[in-house]
Amino acid sequence: MKINLVMIVRNEERSLERCLKSAEHLVDDIIIADTGSADRTKEIARNAGALVLEYEWNDDFSAARNFALDHSDGDWNLVLDADETLRPYTRKGLEERISRLWAAYGQAWMGAITRYDSYHDGDGISVSTMNSRTQGLSVIPFCWRRTTTGISAVIKGRGTCPT
């Protein structure tokens, strides 16, 4: 099973490295579509071994995401925003979960995400969680397919994001 990380980015030098480190052990390749960064974003991505593609921004997140997906040869594509990080998970666990859920539900798979946000405030670190459900193709429990809003997803093959 080949799993690739697919991202669209622009001026993400503050968060990209952390994001990539959280996912690199789960994926075979990293494909990044850069929409015009003027900082060190592309350098950070290349240092992480990513294929960095130039994409001229046209105010359409779905088109940019589809451009990046078109360059992936993964059986599955993990889609993240640069300011997202994954909680600890193993590649073996990810493959087992994808295989089990795909075998059980196939195209009708209903997935869910628990979003875990932590941030510094005046009292230290605050944490919030949000449980959501989504219906669509091939969603794993910690990811969501609504990529037009920048929420992470795992998409079967070269699935296309809605435009």
Tens digit of each residue's pLDDT (9 = 90 or more) over 28-75: 999 999 999 999 999 999 999 999 999 999 998 888 988 998 898 888
Identify how many contiguous H helices and E strands the chain contains and give both numbers.
4, 7
Return d(Cα 108, Cα 110) in angstroms, integer.
6
The pLDDT, as a whole number, for residue 133 is 43
Tokens matching residue 86: 């994954």
Tens digit of each residue's pLDDT (9 = 90 or more) over 135-147: 333 334 333 332 3
pTM of the full structure = 0.74
Return d(Cα 57, Cα 162) in angstroms, integer.
17
Beta-carbon count within 10 A of 5 CB: 25
Three-state SS for 17?
A: helix
Q: Is 10 exposed, middle or buried (0-12, 13-18, 19+ CB in 10 A)?
A: middle
